[in-house]
Amino acid sequence: MPDNELIKIQISKVIPAQKWRVIRLLTKIQEFPSYIPCVKEATVIHKKHNIMRTKWRVQIEGVPISWIEEDTLALNEKVIYFHATEGDLAEFKGKWEFLDHPLGTEVKVEVFLKVGIPSVNEAVDANNYIKKLLSKNFEAILDAVERRLISIKYSSYKSGENEKIAGFGIIAHLYNFFHLEKCLKTLNPGLKMPSREFISQLYHVSPSFKLCDIDNFKSKTGAIASGSVILATFIPDMMEKDLFAVSSKIFKACKIAEKTGMGIVSLTGFTSIVPERIGQRIADEVDVPVTTGNAFTAAMVIDGVLKAARRLNLDMDKVNMAIIGGTGNIGSICARIMAKKVKQLTITARTRENLKKTGAELKKLKKAKIIATDDNQAAIKNADIVICCASSSASFLDISWFKTESIVCDLGYPKNVAYTSHRDDIFLFSGGLAKSPTPIVFPVDLGLPTANTLYGSFAESIILALEKRYEAFSPEQGQITPEKVEEIRILGKKHGFEVSDFYWDGELLKRS
Ligand SMILES: NC(=O)c1ccc[n+]([C@@H]2O[C@H](COP(=O)([O-])OP(=O)(O)OC[C@H]3O[C@@H](n4cnc5c(N)ncnc54)[C@H](OP(=O)(O)O)[C@@H]3O)[C@@H](O)[C@H]2O)c1
């Protein structure tokens, strides 16, 4: 039957791998059922030279389709031809073509088919129905082949084979609706802002995407690393609607990083917090090594607080300190380090069980007097230094609560103290920020005061990439030790990262 009388399917996908790797995997059809769920059976019946006879049984949307086909591997043309010799379909033939592409290999699948069952009416057209199912089948095969090649790449790297992964990915998010509006206006200055409900819904359905590349980031040592910022398209407010949907955006953002073979990704801000709230670990779901950036953030918080204390001539031995969110990932490691430096340390959180547990661990250090409470205001009232590191989707600490002359380091993203708050009698600054050895101009305002300032969590993945240490340095769900904080602080210093000057709401503070 001539091709123009058959139903045609055309699918194409760029797979980030060399051509020979893609072809090799696609010809190992007997392995398909182990990693492509819709392929129930794929066996080689006979093979001679470049001709194979293969048997297939697939099941898509509950519909089983079986056939036997003959495949011709025309590898000099970089094409595999196939045609069914028996099976459920009257006609089924086509080709797989492998083309060079700047990002790897473009695989083009062209299929011609005919079902053979006459259509009862237009609404029940068997040809179109099977076309839809088989399109899904080929898409599923290409997606699974891509995933498998990425997994093989990372596992080969881990087992010391000559596989190359490199660079850093920063998984970022915007911090609230105003931030989203501001970014949209930057990208489209003439934008007439639609309603908040419309924008929110649109953002909710938008997939995560690569915001920008950071090429040739140069360390003080001369070492160079490149990477990208990938925007997970959520704001913390969206967590209330659907935590699983937000977590899936974070997972997909990591998958974007994997496609380019990045060495390490940093889960910044809420991108490490959201999966944890539903008991997920992104590291278990992806192949690219994942760090939270919390160790370097903690290092910058500690350095910033100690620097501020020196400026204000505070004797740390006599300091009464409060850590708001002191049971969290960053708060608890800051508490462990600070408990050895101050006179009294109060940690706060809403969950009493966690307060009890973290409080008991801190008491074992036998230095500062430890108080654990769920009363933020009481904790802040008499504190000389307050570290604010609660993961809250909106500011919640009242500026009037702080003691005159106190130091307040707020590393919340979004801030625990509203940016609109100002008091001349307290030293309030954004914590966890690092001075960067190379300026970076992002295409939108990510809440950083200068091109030479980075969030500690952004910087951590850059430092690890410069060191070629592709590992979960700061693992999800805590487990950061003071030794790790010190190690990454020293590595950061080696590459030219140090604690930032003091800023609040983008303004350099006089005492910097
Ligand atoms: N500057 C940077 O580079 C940087 C880097 C990473 C993260 N961050 C930001 O730092 C913050 C903390 O991150 P994380 O990873 O440590 O978060 P986390 O592990 O979720 O810890 C958050 C802590 O805040 C507490 N908390 C939440 N709401 C509270 C409230 N209303 N009052 C008192 N405590 C409250 C939590 O305990 P309960 O749930 O029991 O209340 C927990 O102790 C986030 O805002 C994050 O975006 C900044």
- Whole-Å CA distances, 498 to 55, 437, 469: 62, 9, 19
Which is the closest atom of ligand 1 to the Cα of 328?
A: 21
* Among 456, 472, 422, 436, residue whose Cα is nearest residue 268: 456
* Among 85, 81, 52, residue whose Cα is nearest residue 68: 85
Query: Among positive and negative, which fits the CA dihedral 256, 259, 260, 266?
Result: positive
Per DSSP, 417 falls in state B
The Å distance, Cα 86 to ligand 1 centre, comes to: 61
Specify the amino acid at residue 48.
K
What pLDDT was estimated at residue 164? Answer: 87
Please choose from 292, 348, 389, 455 the residue to mutate so as to test ligand 1's pocket, defined by most ligand atoms within 8 A of CB: 389
| Nearest Cα residue to atom 7 of ligand 1 | 269
The Å distance, Cα 423 to ligand 1 centre, comes to: 24
The Å distance, Cα 167 to ligand 1 centre, comes to: 28
Which is the closest atom of ligand 1 to the Cα of 236?
A: 47
Domains of the chain: 3-158 (3.30.530.20)
Using CA atoms, how far apart are residues 423 and 402, in angstroms rounded to an integer? 10
Specify the amino acid at residue 466.
L
Which is the closest atom of ligand 1 to the Cα of 301?
A: 1
| Nearest Cα residue to atom 13 of ligand 1 | 391
pLDDT tens sequence across 288-322 = 999 999 999 999 999 999 999 999 999 999 999 99
Peptide bond into 414 cis (omega under 30): yes
* Among 187, 297, 193, residue whose Cα is nearest residue 231: 187
Could you tell me how far CA 75 lies from the centroid of its own chain?
38
| Nearest Cα residue to atom 33 of ligand 1 | 349
Burial class (CB in 10 A: 0-12, 13-18, 19+), 174: buried
- HSE-CB for 235 with a 13 A CA cutoff: 20
- HSE-CB for 381 with a 13 A CA cutoff: 6
Please choose from 391, 419, 429 the residue to mutate so as to test ligand 1's pocket, defined by most ligand atoms within 8 A of CB: 391
Question: Which residues in the chain show pLDDT less than 50?
Answer: none
Using CA atoms, how far apart are residues 329 and 385, in angstroms rounded to an integer? 19
What pLDDT was estimated at residue 241? Answer: 85
Q: Is 478 left (phi over 0), alpha (psi -120 to 50) or beta?
A: left
The Å distance, Cα 328 to ligand 1 centre, comes to: 6
Which is the closest atom of ligand 1 to the Cα of 374?
A: 33
The Å distance, Cα 8 to ligand 1 centre, comes to: 54
In 10 A of CB 448, how many CB atoms? 19
The Å distance, Cα 349 to ligand 1 centre, comes to: 9
Per DSSP, 238 falls in state G
The Å distance, Cα 392 to ligand 1 centre, comes to: 7
CA 65-68-73 angle, 5° bins: 120
Instruction: Assign 299 to helix, strand or coil.
Output: helix
pLDDT tens sequence across 266-288 = 999 999 999 999 999 999 999 99
For every residue of 171-196, DSSP letters joined together read EE---SHHHHHHHHHHH-TT-----H
Q: Where are the alpha helices (DSSP H) in 14-125?
A: 19-27, 32-35
The Å distance, Cα 446 to ligand 1 centre, comes to: 19
Q: Spell out which residues line ligand 1, taking CB within 6 angstroms.
A: 268-270, 272-273, 293-294, 297, 324-325, 327-331, 348-351, 354, 376, 389-392, 396, 411-413, 432, 455-457
| Nearest Cα residue to atom 32 of ligand 1 | 349
The Å distance, Cα 327 to ligand 1 centre, comes to: 8
| Nearest Cα residue to atom 46 of ligand 1 | 269
| Nearest Cα residue to atom 42 of ligand 1 | 328
Specify the amino acid at residue 274.
V
Which is the closest atom of ligand 1 to the Cα of 354?
A: 40
Give this prediction's pTM: 0.92
The Å distance, Cα 207 to ligand 1 centre, comes to: 25
The Å distance, Cα 414 to ligand 1 centre, comes to: 10
What pLDDT was estimated at residue 144? Answer: 97
The Å distance, Cα 221 to ligand 1 centre, comes to: 34
The Å distance, Cα 252 to ligand 1 centre, comes to: 23
Which is the closest atom of ligand 1 to the Cα of 350?
A: 41
Which is the closest atom of ligand 1 to the Cα of 268?
A: 6
